[in-house]
Structure 1
C-alpha cells in the first residue's frame, strides 16, 4: 500500500468521504491536489491488480457487493435475482474496477426532462438545476483524466476495431444507422503512466494491466501521494452524526477489526452508490432529522433509476469470437437523439457488450436448461451480444428502504430495492430488441435470443439534485438542502438517467464539486 497521511479520529478539520469509486475516489484526488485533507472510508477490501483473475465467476465472487439485499416490486429481478438487485463492486475503486469503460456524455435535453417531456403519468420527472453547457468543461476534464480514447480531450486514437465491432457495425450500417461510436475509457495506446490496451477481453473482471481507467490505481494512489489523504479500507459506515445546529460533525463506522470508530469531520461527502448512500442517510435519523438525515423533502431513497435495459445474443453463420479484444464493441447511438414519435420519450444505445461463456450461460436463461439452451451455447463462438441501455424515468415508488426487522453483519437494517418499470421503459427496451434483431439479421444472423436484463450496474437517483428543497435532496453542487456541510458525490444525485452510462457524468460532477468545496472551505462558508 502507498505511504499515506494518518489523521486522528478527533481531527475535525478533515473532509470525510464515504466510498472510493468514480465519485469518491475522484473527489478525494481533486481535493487533495488543492491541499484539502481527507479521510476516505471504503467498506470493501483494498484489492490490487495482482488479485485480478481472468475468470468471470472467480472475480464476481471476489469483488461483488454480496451483502444481503432484497429485490422487490414488479421488475423481473424478484424472480431472476431476488437478492442481487445490483451488480456493483465492494472494494477500493468501487465499480470502476469492473465497469465496461463506456464513457458517454449526457445531451442537453437530458437535463430538462420535465420541460422537454412535460408531466408524465406514473413518473416523477424533474429538471436538473444545471445545464449541459455548465458541465461541458468538466466533461472535457473528465475525458482527459480518464483517457477516453477517440476524444479531443485525451488525444488518444479510437480503440482498434475487433471482430465483434465489425460485425455489429456492418449490420448497423446496412439498416441505415450512421452514428456508430466506441467511447472507451481505456488507453488505445500508453497514456498518463498506464499501458495501452492489450485486448485481453476480461475488462469487467478488473483490468489486470491497468489500461482501463479505475480510481483503484489512478485517483486513489495519487490522492494518497499528496500527503493529504488517508484511505481506510474495510471501514463500513454506520451513521453520519451532527451537532445541535444540524451540521454534520462525525462519521461512525466499523473498522477492519470490527471495532466501532467515530471520525470527526468538517465536511462529509457521501459516495457509496445509489443504494448505500440513501441507506446511510436513512440510518442517520435523529430527533432533529426523524425521517433520515437531509430528508425534509421525503425524497431520500426515492426515484431509483438503473436504466431501461435488455440484452440479447445473435448467432451467426460464421465465428465472431466476441470475447477477443476490448469488451465493448460498436455502440449504436442513432436512437439517442430526442425523438418522441416512436411512442416513447427518451432514447437508447445499442451497446455491443462481450460476455464470456460462463456469464452467457448464466444470463441467457437463468436457472434454465433444455435443447434450446444447449443448442445455443454450442454456438458460443458464433455469437454477438447487445446490451440495450435506455432512459429510465424517475418514479417516486422506485426506492431504497430499510427492512423493518432484518439486520446485516454490521447490525444495520438490510436495504430493500423496490423497482417497477414504467410502461415507457418497457417500450424503449422492446424497440431496442426489435432494432437489434434487424441489425443482426442484416448480416445473416440465423437466430436471435432475447435475455432477461442483468442485475443493475447503473444505479442512479435516490438523493437527487433539485432547484427547490421540496423536490429533492441536494442542490446544484450536490450539497444537501438541509445540511450545508453534507454532500452527495455519486450517481444518487442524478435527477434523470439519460441513456448514457453514468460514470463519465459522475466523474465530471465530482471534479466540479471538488472545486466548489475547496473554494467554500477557503471562504469558511462550510
Structure 2
C-alpha cells in the first residue's frame, strides 16, 4: 500500500528500505512472500520531476568519462529501470575467482553462493529463465573464443509497471513516495536507531524509527548516504583512508573494429531473437576462461552492431531517424536513453555527412518498407530491444562491453556544497587506465587471430594499430553502471559490507546496490544485484524468524542477526 512517512501513528515496519527501484522492490516483495513487513522510502514520485532530480546532482571532475547524473539515473518510483535498456546478463564463474591480473578484485562469496538466485532474479526482471548459453556454432576456429554467450532482455523494463501493483496491494509493504532520507541516526554501540526524512519539496520533516535498514538507492546515491554518515563520524567505514567511495567502476563500451562475415547469412546468428518464452535474446562473442587467464584479459563480450547509427545501411528514413534522435526529447521516445547517448556520442560512428548523403533521392526507394518496419517495431509487444540492420557488404561495427578493472583512485567524494535539504553533494572522479585499454587491445588481437582460423568472419581494424589504446580510452565513458564504492569484502580493511551485505561495524545496516560489487565483469549489473537482493531477503527473514519477533530493536534481535549462518 502507499503510505505517508510523516504519519507518526504508523507502526514501524520490520525492515526499512531506502529506494523503490528494481532492487528495493525485489527486497520488499520477497520479504512479503516470506512474511516480513517492510517500508519502502522513495525520494521521487510516480513521475520524474526536475525539482527532485536537482537534489541529486554531482560535480564531475572527469566529465569526459562520466555522463551527467540526470542522464544515467532517475529519482522516481521504479528508479533507473525507467531509463534502462533491459539487458540481463549473468556474471561468469571466473568473475568470482581470484585473478592475478585483477588487483583488488577478490569476492567474499563464490558463484555458487549467488547462482541459486539468478533464476528468480531473471524472472523478476521479466527476462525469462536464467539461460545465458546459446547453442554452439561450428566455425572451425577452436575454443579460444566462443559465440555462445547470451544476453537476455526484459520484456517490461519498468519495475514499477511490472511489480508496483503487487507492492501497493500488499498489506505488509508500505511505499512512501516523495520521501528523502537526510540523516541516519546511530547509537553509541553501532546500531541504526532511526532516520531523518524530509518531503522532496522540504515542507515536511520527521524522524522514523528503524529496526532493520537496507539502503537500495542505486550505486551513487547509496554511496552518497554512506559518505554523509561518515562526515559526522569520521572513523566510520575505515575513515578517509578506508574503502568507502573508492574503486568506482563502470564498463568500457565502444568499437575499434568491424567484423566482416564471410557469408551474409552468418550475421543472422547475432540478431535479436525471441526464445520459446517470448523473451528477446542476443548472442555475443566472448574469450573463454582459459583464454582470459592465459593472456590476462579482462572479461569482455563483443557483437556485430548494425544500428541506425551506422550509415552503411544506406536507408534514408533510418538516417533521418538517427539524425533526429540527437534531439533529447524525440531521441528518448525512439531509443532508451542509455542507447541513444551511446550512439550519439560514439567517436568512431558514421559522420552526420554520411547520413545526410543517405537522404539523396535514391535513398528513399525503400522508405515505405522502412517505415512499416519501424512501425511494427514500435507497436510490437514486447518491443525489440535494438536493431541489426543488414548492409550489402556484410560488414558491421564490432561493439564491445568490457570489464573495468578496480582502481582505488577512481572514486566518489563529498564536496562542501549542500543541497536544499542539508546533505553534502558529491564529486565524481571516474578513471579508466592504460591497463583497461591494453587488455581490450589484446582481446581484439586474440579474437582476430581466432577468426582467421575459421570460416565465420574476419576482423577489420578501424583505427591505426598504434592508436588502439588511445582510441579505446577516448571512447571510455559511462556512469550508467555504478559499481564498487561500497564493495563487499571479507574484512573492514578491504570493503564496506560483508558477504551478507551488512555494513562492517553496524549491526542492523545493509547496503544493496550495484556499488557493493567488487568487480564489474562483462555483464550489466542489474541481474546480479537483484539476485543479491533476493539472497539478502532470505538472510533478513531468517534473522527475524530465528527467534520470536522483537517488539523493538535491542540486543535480543541483534543476537538473531549475528547468529545467522553466513550466506543463507
- TM-score class, shorter-chain normalisation, is 0.7 to 0.9
Q: The residue matched to 1:217 in structure 2 has which SS?
A: helix
Moved more, 430-439 or 234-243: 430-439
Per-residue deviation, 1:292? 4.7
Q: Distance in 1 between matches of 2:130 and 2:209?
A: 41
Q: Contact 2:13/2:39 (CA < 8 Å) preserved in 1?
A: no
Q: Are 1:389 and 2:401 matched, yes or no?
A: yes
Which shows bigger deviation, 474-483 or 94-103?
94-103
Matched with 1:508 is: 531
Q: Which residue of 2 aligns with 1:108?
A: 93
1:464 aligns with 2:487: yes
Structure 2 CA distance for partners of 1:313 and 1:68, relative to 1, 3 Å: farther
For residues 344-398 of structure 1, what are the alpha-carbon distances to aligned partners after superposition, in whole Å with 9 as ceiling and x for unaligned?
3322012567577225886557499999442156559667555422222211111
Maintained 8 Å contact 1:71/1:84: no
**Using a 3 Å threshold, how does the CA distance of structure 1 residues 510 and 84 change in structure 2: closer, same or farther?**
closer
Structure with the larger helix share: 2
Deviation at 1:147, TM superposition (A): 3.8
Change (3 A) 1:483 1:26: same
1:222 counterpart residue number: 166
Q: How does 1:345-384 map to 2 (within 5 A)?
A: 345-351=297-303, 357=322, 358=325, 363=342, 366=345, 372-376=351-355, 378=357
Would the aligned equivalents of 1:310 and 1:433 in 2 still touch at CA under 8 Å? no
Which range moves more in the overlay, 88-97 or 464-473? 88-97
RMSD of aligned Cα (Å): 4.4
Supply the distance in 2 between the matched residues of 1:147 and 1:84 (Cα, whole angstroms). Answer: 26
1:426 aligns to 2:437 (yes or no): yes
Compute the displacement of 1:507 (Å). 0.9
Give distance in 2, aligned partners of 1:453 and 1:85.
19
* CA distance in structure 2 between the aligned counterparts of 1:135 and 1:370, rounded to whole angstroms: 38
What's the CA shift string for 1:437-480, capped at 9, x where partnerless?
Answer: 998x9779999587824432111111111111221111111011
> Is residue 84–residue 157 contact of structure 2 (8 Å, CA) maintained in 1?
no
Question: How far apart are residue 294 of structure 1 and its match?
Answer: 7.6
1:234, 1:30 → 2: CA distance?
23
Distance 1:281 1:33 in 2: 29
What residue is the counterpart of 2:384 in the other structure?
Answer: none
What's 2:152 paired with? 184
1:264 paired to 2:209: yes
- 1:240 aligns with 184
Equivalent of 1:274, from 219, 233, 242?
A: 219
Deviates more, 1:16-25 or 1:213-222: 213-222
Q: How does 1:200-215 map to 2 (within 5 A)?
A: 211-215=155-159
1:19 is the counterpart of 2:4: no
Note the alpha carbon deviations across 1:18-73, whole angstroms, 9 max, x for none. Answer: 112232121111112222222211222323xxx9xxxxxxx9x9998894222225
Matched, 1:69 2:58: yes
Cα offset, 1:252, TM superposition: 1.9
SS of residue in 2 equivalent to 1:45: coil
Q: 1:511 to 1:371 in 2, by over 3 A?
A: closer
Structure 1 counterpart SS, 2:174: strand
Tell me how far apart the structure 1 counterparts of residues 193 and 156 of structure 2 sit (CA, whole Å).
Answer: 36
| Runs of at least 5 residues in structure 1 that lack an aligned partner in the other structure | 52-58, 159-168, 187-210
Shift of 1:212: 2.3
Q: Aligned to 2:244, which of 278, 286, 300?
A: 300
- The aligned residue for residue 520 of structure 1 is 543
Q: Normalization by structure 1: what TM-score?
A: 0.74
Q: CA shift at 1:82, angstroms?
A: 6.8
User: Could you tell me whether the CA contact under 8 Å between 1:402 and 1:416 is conserved in 2?
Assistant: yes
- Determine if contact 1:479/1:487 at 8 Å carries over to the other structure: yes
Higher radius of gyration, 1 or 2: 2
| Distance in structure 1 (CA, Å) of the matches to 2:65 and 2:493 | 36
CA–CA distance in structure 1, aligned partners of residues 498 and 200 of structure 2: 34
Judging changes above 3 Å, is the alpha-carbon distance between structure 1 residues 351 and 30 closer, same or farther for their aligned structure 2 residues?
farther
What's 1:332 paired with? 284
